[in-house]
Amino acid sequence: MNRTVLLVIAHGSRDPRHAATVQALVRLAGALRPGLRVETAFLDFNLPSVPGVLDRLAADGVRDVVALPLLLTRAFHAKADIPAVLRQAPPSLRIRQAEVLGPSPLLIAAVERRLYEAGLTPGDKSATGVVLASAGSTDPEAIAVIAETARELRRTGWCSVRPAFASASLPRTEDAVRALRAEPGVRRVAVAPYVIAPGRLPDRIAAGAAEADVLADVLGPSPELARLLLERHDAAHAARGAVAHSA
């Protein structure tokens, strides 16, 4: 068997909605490219585990794997946890670690899709302030990417966009909502969770959106995210020299 397998690696959560959402996204990506074998694994809390899936792929005769971190920024999990677990893979596997999902115009499009699904329209943009609420990180690179993503979202025409964080960083969602409310020209405030799947931190974002006018859904199995998974797979597959693990 010579076909490359796309292995999507999610963090995992005790919240059952997390794994269900991840699986739905991966199924959507697979449906967009029927000839590609797509597998899911979790770093923690959920099964199948990354080592378990890698062992199964090796037993199936798979040779090449693209390991895609299901992460929006390059923080600790992408820099340390995932490379560490990939280094323990069976020696018969040749693994390339793909780039994380962000930044990407497709993520901006997915955020806007969720805002429109929550009731906003393109005509509302010029009078609406948006809180781009992420899980949070202590990694300066990840924080900088979130800030730049907020700026990119603002450039699409929203009145104002402020980043916020559910943990590790400030401001919190509720503080960003209040700050936007005080800005001139902002007649309504929307909170856009910049997270992939439900869980404890997304619930914290939702609680912080109590004073907002609109709360969008998590990014979840959106068409844009599914396309982005395939983009990251293709880029890693083409980068023949970027082998994270090989015999």
pLDDT, tens digit (0-9, with 9 covering 90-100), for 67-126:
999 999 998 778 889 999 999 999 999 999 999 999 999 999 999 999 999 999 999 999
83-107 core/surface letters (b: 16 or more CB in 10 A; e: else): bebbeebbeebbbbbbbbbbebebb
pLDDT at 78: 82
CB distance 226 to 28 below 8 Å: yes
Q: Compute CA 161 distance to the chain's CA centroid, rounded to the nearest angstrom.
A: 19
Q: What mean pLDDT is predicted for residues 208-226?
A: 98
Give yes or no for a contact between 118 and 217, defined as CB atoms under 8 angstroms apart.
Answer: yes
| pLDDT computed for residue 224 by the predictor | 98
Whole-number pLDDT of residue 2? 55
For residue 244, pLDDT over 70 is answered with: no
| Token pair in block for residue 138 | 């202590």
Quote the percentage of the chain above a pLDDT of 90: 91
Residue of higher predicted confidence among 208 and 80: 208
Span of 24-28, 75-79, 135-139, 241-245 with lowest mean pLDDT: 241-245
How much is the pLDDT for 183? Answer: 98
80 vs 69: CA distance, rounded Å: 11
Largest CA distance in the chain: 61
What's the mean per-residue pLDDT of the chain? 95
pLDDT digits 0-9 by tens, 29-57: 999 999 999 999 999 999 999 999 999 99
Mean pLDDT of 201-210: 98
Q: What pLDDT shows up at residue 1?
A: 45
pLDDT of residue 240: 64
